[in-house]
Structure 1
Amino acid sequence: MAPKRKLYDAADVKVFIGILIYVGVHTSPRIDLYWLQDPYQGPIHTPRLCFEQIKRFLHISRPTSAGNHQPGDKRWWYKLESLASTFERAARQYYQPGSNISIDATMIRCFGRTKHRVKMPNKPIKQGSKIIALADRGYIWTFTWSSRLWGIVDLFRWPNMSPTGSMVLETIHLRGKNLPLCILLSLQ
């Protein structure tokens, strides 16, 4: 007889996201090692099977916007837009970056299949979704999506600037308007 399948609710998904954050901070060579009974590490408060099922079956989308976008649309992240916008608003609300910020290409682990996934072997996360992040001491304050197929989609090309220089200026121009910044660009 098959075990009874549990329906997961919002609290289970919040715990799942918390585990993903924990796994990102406290790295281990294998995912199953987090469920060992280590007195120094502490327990993870959800069964491993529950975590694996949510990871396998979680699908994020906005049903009202699903018909508005086509497969060839350059806003390929439209299914994540609501979640990403909520994250970005919270990041801006709860943290004010200092004057020493960085703008860098950052990888977000991606479990699904997409042709926009990027491979960057020199990053801690080797494969996933690429974002251009404005960060302060490891805290992502705002970001712009990037694609393997189309690059940085909403990039304005500044005159006499390389794509990287344009990306830095555009990120500061659009996202960091109210920040006291001193910008130094190395034009090589």
Structure 2
Amino acid sequence: EATVRPHEEPGVDRGVPGSFVPFEVPEREAEIRALPPEPLALFLRYVPYEVVDRWAEWTNTAAATAQHGPLRRRSRIKAWRPTTAHEIYLFLGILICMGLHSESQVFRYWSTSQDQEDPIYLFTRFMTRDRFQLLLRHIRIFNPADFPDTPTPSEQRRRGQAREGLMPKVYRQVNGWSAHIQETGESFYTPGTGLTVDEAMVRFTGRSTETTTVPNKPTPVGFKARQARGDIEAKKAALTPTQRVVTTLVALLPAAVYHVFLDNLFASVKLFQALRRQNIGATGTCRKDSGIDEILVDEKEEEGKGIPWGKVHCIPTKDGELIQQFGPSSQAPSRARPRRATDTRNDVIPAVHQRESGAGGGYG
């Protein structure tokens, strides 16, 4: 799904000064449990042999199917031989090495220098470029039988239609390993009170209908994670699909009280109220169309010119569950850096968890 920013009308119902009831979040440090003594042992916890052995079986099945399809005269798949778990471990090691030592094109890893016969990258002694590209093209970390290349008539009819609770195909294909990674991570780490939710792009430049392009980003092309399944509280609050990412991720955590920090891609009055009903404190920056009080919207339009530096305006919501704060700047005038014309920083901060705040700044 596309990224959907919150769009809510400015609030007109506000509480009286002092009516805000802070949501108390007890401080709790994150816990990191004992890790395996060797890095390889830790790696094998995330990529165990039984998982890779299934990958080898599925990869061989997919490659055998491809061999029976229409082929070009010099197609690499004609030279396919069955792979093994050990070879896939080697393949993964090569991918990790490539990630650490980037080249503009794959063939450059197998090029040799002019003054010596040895390859620049020693892994080329163990796998040829053709074999690597064969594995890269045909490796399967999911059962191909569960995801046929030819869609059924019912799938064709549903194409282009949003289906509640069903992830796109490419995400379902990696969901098995993703779930294992999450379970393994939870066995080593328990989060503390403070959490942040932000978007990230997983780089991918192959062929897929699910890729997203965001220009002027460090990773401009790749996959964005979206709603994995429905959330009753999120539906009641009429949250956007992007905001539901927050409620879904929080629901996956061990049961506890948390304090979530968000940026204006997610934050809105509706989301903060929904989180409070889930016993989750939240702090974040908001845009003018995120449901904040109309007084703060007007002050934002004026860039806080009527607010002295070092002062913050606070307006509670009528139910006393949120406090909305706005300050003209978080820096002293003598040290303030000029804003660019494209700077979209917003100092409107609704909050459901109260802390001390510095002059000119606002914290939930």
The bucket for the TM-score relative to the shorter chain is 0.5 to 0.7
Q: 1:56 aligns to what?
A: 137
More strand by share: 1
Q: Match for residue 139 of structure 1? A: none
267, 276, 285: which is aligned to 1:186?
285
Distance 1:22-1:99 versus aligned 2 partners, 3 A rule: farther
Aligned residue runs from structure 1 range 1-188, under 5 A = 5-36=80-111, 43-44=122-123, 45-62=126-143, 65-66=146-147, 70=155, 72=158, 74-75=166-167, 76=169, 77-96=171-190, 101-110=195-204, 112-131=206-225, 146=226, 152-154=227-229, 156=231, 157=234, 159=237, 164-172=242-250, 174-177=251-254, 181-183=258-260, 184-188=283-287
User: For the Cα contact (< 8 Å) 2:210–2:223, is it kept in 1?
Assistant: yes
Could you tell which deviates more after superposition, 91-100 or 49-58? 91-100
**What's the Cα RMSD here?**
3.8
Greater RCO (Cα-Cα under 8 Å, separation 6 or more): 2
Task: Give the conservation status (yes or no) of the 8 Å contact 1:107–1:128.
Answer: yes
Moved more, 112-121 or 48-57: 112-121
Whole-Å Cα distance in 1 between the matches of residues 217 and 101 of structure 2? 16
Q: TM-score, normalised by structure 2?
A: 0.37
CA distance in 2, matches of 1:103, 1:120: 19
- Asked whether the equivalents of residues 155 and 167 of structure 1 are also in contact (C-alpha less than 8 Å), the reply is no
Q: Secondary structure at the match of 1:182?
A: strand
Q: Distance in 2 between matches of 1:123 and 1:112?
A: 18
**Structure 2: segments with no counterpart, 5+ residues:** 1-73, 149-153, 261-282, 288-364
Q: Distance in 1 between matches of 2:257 and 2:136?
A: 40
5+ residue gaps in structure 1?
132-145, 147-151
Q: Aligned in 2, Cα 1:121/1:100: closer, same or farther, shift over 3 Å?
A: farther
TM-score w.r.t. the length of structure 1 is 0.63
Measured in 2, the distance between the counterparts of 1:129 and 1:5 equals 30
Q: Secondary structure at the match of 1:128?
A: strand
Range moving further from structure 2, 51-60 or 159-168:
159-168
Structure possessing the higher radius of gyration over alpha carbons: 2
Q: Is the 8 A contact 2:201 2:222 kept in 1?
A: yes
What SS does the corresponding residue of 1:104 show, helix, strand or coil? Answer: coil
Q: 1:5 to 1:166 in 2, by over 3 A?
A: closer
Question: Displacement of 1:103 after TM fit?
Answer: 2.6
Equivalents in 2 of 1:22, 1:179: separation in Å? Answer: 39
> What's the CA shift string for 1:111-163, capped at 9, x where partnerless?
653322222333443323222xxxxxxxxxxxxxx3xxxxx353643738665
Across the two proteins, how many residue pairs are aligned to each other? 166
